[in-house]
Structures are given as C-alpha cells and as structure tokens.
Amino acid sequence: MTTSLFGHLLLFLVMLSAIYNVDSQIEYDGSDISLGSSLTPTGNPYWLSPSGLFAFGFYPEGENRYRVGIFLAGFPLNKTTVIWTANRDDPPVSDNVTLSLTTDGRLIIQQSQDSDRDVVTTDQSISSASMLDSGNFVLYGPNQEDIWESFHHPTDTIVQDQKLMEEHELVSSISEVNHSTGIFRLKMQSDFNLVMYPNETGTDDTRPFAYWATGTNSVDAKNVTLNLDSDGSLYLLDEPPADNIIKILSYGLSEEQRFYLLKIFYDGILRLYSLSLDGKGNSSSVVWESTTDRCAPKGLCGLNEYCSLDDSEPECKCPPGFGHVNPRNRTARNCYSPDPTCNKDEGNQSITMTLLYNTYWDNNPYKTDNVKNKEECEATCLKNCECVVAFFQDGECRQQRLPLKYGRNESADSNIAFFKLTQAQSPPPLPPPSPSPLPTQPPTPGRKKTIVPVLTAVGVGAGLAVIVAVLLVSYWGVRRHNKSSA
C-alpha cells in the first residue's frame, strides 16, 4: 500500500514537472507570437526569445513611463542593454496601455478602445511574430514570409551577426536614459565610406560636417556593409560575389560567454561593447571606440560654445563676455552675446576686444586679410562694423559673424580668437597661455582639496563632542550612585 502510494506520488510529481516545463517553453518560445497576443507594462510586459536572452516589449523610461523596444533580458537597463526602440520620438506611454498583435494583423499600442497607434507599419497584414535569439524581432505575412524585421530598421545599435546596410544609419539617443533621437549619426554611405556626422538641421553628407570616417570611399567595390561577428570582429565587407574585407576596425576575441554590440553613444562616439553572459555580474566593457577624444564629435557643444577637456571629460564653455541662453540650464547648449555695432557711441568708445587662445570654431569667414601680427588683426576687426569675431593664425586674419559652430579648445592649436564686446560686457583680459591654455574655472580636483580638511575638522569635532558627552554621563552616574549609597 505504501509502495503504491509512493508510486502515485512520484508519477504526480513527474507530471507536474512536465506541465511546468511546457509552460516555461511557451513563455520563452519566440518562434510563434500568435494573433490576439498582448502585453501590458505592469502585467506581462514582454515576449522573450527562446533562450530568454532578448525581450520585445515594454521597458521603463522615467517615472511610471514606458517605451516599446528590444533589450537584453536579465541585464540592468543601462546604456548598453536597450538595442532598439519603436517610434522613438513619440512620448513614453503610461502604465494603462496595451500592446497587441491584433486579430486583423496589426501591431498596435492601445490606450482605450477608440485610441491606438501602430508600433510598426507593414504593407501586408501580420499573421505572426517572433523574438529571435539573434536579437531580431520579425513579423510574418499570410504566407509566413518575412514582411518586417528590426535588423533592417536599426536605431542606435547593431548586435553581433547583424549588418548595417548601404545607405542605412545609426542615430544616437538623447541621453543614457532618454532613447529619443539624438544629435549624432553614423552612415554606411553608397560611396563605401562609413562616416559620422552631426544629426542636425543644415548638415548634409559632406566633408565639412564629418568628424570621423573609415576613409574607404576610394575602394573598388559594389555593395559594402558594416559587419559585426559573434567573436567581436568589426569590419567593412564587400558583399558577394567579391566577398572582400575592405577594412577591419576591431579584430575578434577568443573569449567565451560574451555577447557583442555596437552603439553610437549619445556623446557622438562609436563604441563596441562586450557583455558577459556567464551570470557573474553581467559586466560590460568597451572593446573598441572610434576615438578617445571626447571633444571630437561636431555638435557636442551648442552655438558659440567651445568644447574643452578637463581630465579627459568634455565641458562646453562660453567665450569671454558671452553667457548661456539659460544660465540655470547649461544643457540649453547655446551661448549668446548682444552683437556690438559701430553706432552705439560716437568714436567707437564703448567697444573693446577680448582674446581667447588655442580655441577655434568652424572656419567660415566672410573676409580674410593677410596681416603682420595679431595686433593688426585685432585693429582690423575693431574698425569693421560687421566683424564680431576675428581669428588670427599664420599671418591670416579671418573675420566672422555669429553664430559660431563646432568650437573647441586645443593646446596644440595656435589660433587666437578676438571677440568684440561692449565695455559693460568685457571681462578682465586673459594673459597668453604658458605653456597650455588657462582654464576658465578652477579644476575640480582643486575644489575637492579645499573640502577635505573642512570635512576632517568637522568629523574630529563631532567625535570629541561624543566622547565628552559619554564622560559627563558616566561622571554624573557615578555621583548619583555614591549619593544614594551614602
């Protein structure tokens, strides 16, 4: 009887385990997301790939706000783990929405019965979907053919075994926590050159706006793509039948249990990341980056600003006499100064010039003169009503109007900038640099050094106060005990 009971119990446990495994497979099976399936931000928020590595669905962005995208499941949602975002310039949604693969073949976000919008637009109705282990989210048509896939519509990232096709772009996000369209882009051009540009109005795919390129526009090829292999190899490849590697950007690594992705970061630098899949902290590291110069990306700073490195960290500053458009919000990214004119006071008495060394902006002069020295360049600008800023370098005096673009400070550059200001605006004159440009504010380490002794003194004082208090309490305790004993 006992043996029979034990056998029935064992059979029940085996059946229960089988049911659990079937449920788990259904939950993780990315091979078939059928019509009528739905997600909610706080209920069932995403569909997993078969291995559980990737997820398609809602991820948080802001307080009680969500976006729809593809991300690495089981990893912290940080700068590397969101790899694709749907309708990235739409505002994030609240937690009372539903993402549905409808019975009539649409993938929509629905806030109410009468309010919905498409997550993806297709030419045909959708019959099913898949979140694949490659990181590719695929929609299938009535005949189970691919009618849309995320690999063909990247945002700011490609993952291993994905290609950036000809005339396709990666566009950065605004910030690490805001995945809307940012201010930099990487383009795989039809001339076979891979180039990074500012992503802003008035720029185009021409050399003056480029700040990084592979320099492969002269190769003899037909259809070049950017490729990232599963071992971390990053290279440009001329597609078959030639199948020639045009340029290698990063060689492969022999590390196991790693996953690789390439992202144009919000600071304008292209980085190849390696992520650990061994379950020991899910760490990530930078394997390769397009440049270590954080001031290199054009457009990192706003109009009239210039980029300056402080301990390798970029800082956007205003020229002498200029101020930020919104002093309380430095991310306004623009500096302003009222344009002085020759007509403010007779004799031009209210106008003065101030200097800034080793700093240059985009070279777009309306007039260039050959001069003997910087004093002659300064005088030329001062007497010219149109001149607001003049740049002196190698005997040339280049006069420009505002606004200025793509400014940076670089100790190796000999350019001297003269800014025309009213006397009310004029700051104290800056001496020439020796040997490197003077910072416009004390460096951060100096500020830290003045704080440490103060904090130490406060800590010591607080400790002494506690000791004195303990001694007083003990003293009065002993006295009261002695009195009571007497």
pLDDT of 460 > 60? The answer is no
CA distance 146 to 127: 10
Tens digits of residue pLDDT in 156-170: 999 999 999 999 999
Predicted confidence at residue 444, as pLDDT, reads 36
pLDDT of 27 > 50? The answer is no
| Distances 176 to 55, 179, 181, 182, 275 between C-alpha atoms, Å | 19, 7, 12, 11, 17
The domain covering 29-153 belongs, at the CATH homologous superfamily level, to Bulb-type lectin domain (2.90.10.10)
CA distance 427 to 319: 10
- Mean of the pLDDT values across residues 190-218? 94
- Mean of the pLDDT values across residues 132-160? 96
Tens digits of residue pLDDT in 62-90: 889 999 999 999 787 777 899 999 999 99
Q: Copy the structure tokens of residue 386.
A: 């149109």
pLDDT of 92 > 60? The answer is yes
The 38-39 sheet, strands edge to edge: 38-39, 98-101, 107-112, 115-118
Predicted confidence at residue 25, as pLDDT, reads 32
- Mean of the pLDDT values across residues 93-97? 94
| DSSP letters for 40-58 | -SSSS-EEEPTTSSEEEEE
Q: Do domains 156-300 and 338-422 have the same CATH topology?
A: no
Given pLDDT bands bounded at 50, 70 and 90, which one contains residue 343? Answer: low
CATH number of 338-422: 3.50.4.10
- Mean of the pLDDT values across residues 4-21? 38
What rounded mean pLDDT belongs to the chain?
A: 81
- Mean of the pLDDT values across residues 427-455? 36
CA distance 252 to 88: 32
pLDDT of 107 > 60? The answer is yes
Q: What percentage of the chain reaches a pLDDT higher than 70? A: 76
Predicted confidence at residue 280, as pLDDT, reads 61
- Mean of the pLDDT values across residues 13-35? 47
Cα–Cα–Cα angle for 31, 83, 198, nearest 5°? 145
Given pLDDT bands bounded at 50, 70 and 90, which one contains residue 337? Answer: confident
Q: Is 103 in contact with 50 (CB distance < 8 Å)?
A: no
Given pLDDT bands bounded at 50, 70 and 90, which one contains residue 351? Answer: confident
pLDDT of 319 > 70? The answer is yes
- Mean of the pLDDT values across residues 207-229? 94
Answering whether pTM is above 0.85, one says no
Cβ burial 103-113 (10 Å sphere, 16+ → b, else e): eebbbbbbeee
pLDDT of 263 > 90? The answer is yes
Tens digits of residue pLDDT in 226-254: 999 999 999 999 988 878 999 999 999 87
- Mean of the pLDDT values across residues 47-60? 95
Predicted confidence at residue 399, as pLDDT, reads 95
- Mean of the pLDDT values across residues 47-59? 95
Where are the chain's structural domains? 29-153, 156-300, 338-422
Predicted confidence at residue 79, as pLDDT, reads 73
Q: Is 270 in contact with 196 (CB distance < 8 Å)?
A: yes
pLDDT of 462 > 50? The answer is no
Tens digits of residue pLDDT in 265-276: 999 999 999 998
pLDDT of 453 > 60? The answer is no
CATH topology of domain 156-300: Agglutinin, subunit A (2.90.10)
